[in-house]
Amino acid sequence: LQKSLSEIFGADKYSRARKEVLTYMFSRPMQMALYFCTGVLDDETLFHHYALNVPFYTHFTSPIRRYADIVVHRLLSASLGARPPIKMEKEAIQKQADHCNDRKMASKRVQELSADLFFSIFVRVRP
């Protein structure tokens, strides 16, 4: 697939834009990861990461980027004994996770609409 796409991208002034748009469109159907509090789930198979094939997985980036990452950092630090436990009930943590998921989905939708707009303009102006 990658070889076929590389041939389609071409080498003209629009090749990079074509590559970005098509790559994005191919990855769009992939299932989006969701934040959740493990304490509210009974089924530990939901902690599995399909692509990495690991039974327990957590994801976070720099805590300066997203609130969800700050929470994950704090929870991991507390679980390792590096800081006191967070004084939040698991239901409150899940409520925060749900809110973060809602914002993430809204952001993704805006990104998709922006890509659709760019692609429409690209198709319209492309001879």
pLDDT digits (tens, 9 = 90+) for 8-42: 777 777 787 777 777 777 766 666 778 888 888 88
Measure the CA angle with vertex 42, ends 47 and 75; round to 5°. 55
For residue 108, pLDDT over 80 is answered with: yes
Structural domain boundaries in the chain: 1-30, 34-125
DSSP helix/strand/coil, 21:
helix
List Cα–Cα distances, 62 to 50, 77, 89, in angstroms: 23, 14, 24
Alpha-carbon distance of 3 to 60, in angstroms, equals 32
Contact present, 78 and 65 (Cβ < 8 Å): no
Alpha-carbon distance of 121 to 118, in angstroms, equals 5
Alpha-carbon distance of 77 to 71, in angstroms, equals 10
State the pLDDT at residue 2: 66
State the pLDDT at residue 102: 94
Alpha-carbon distance of 106 to 112, in angstroms, equals 10
For residue 106, pLDDT over 90 is answered with: yes
Percentage of residues in the chain having pLDDT higher than 90: 20
For residue 43, pLDDT over 70 is answered with: yes
State the pLDDT at residue 113: 92
The more confident residue out of 74 and 1 is: 74
Average pLDDT on 49-64 reads 79
Write down the pTM of the prediction: 0.65
Alpha-carbon distance of 94 to 14, in angstroms, equals 44
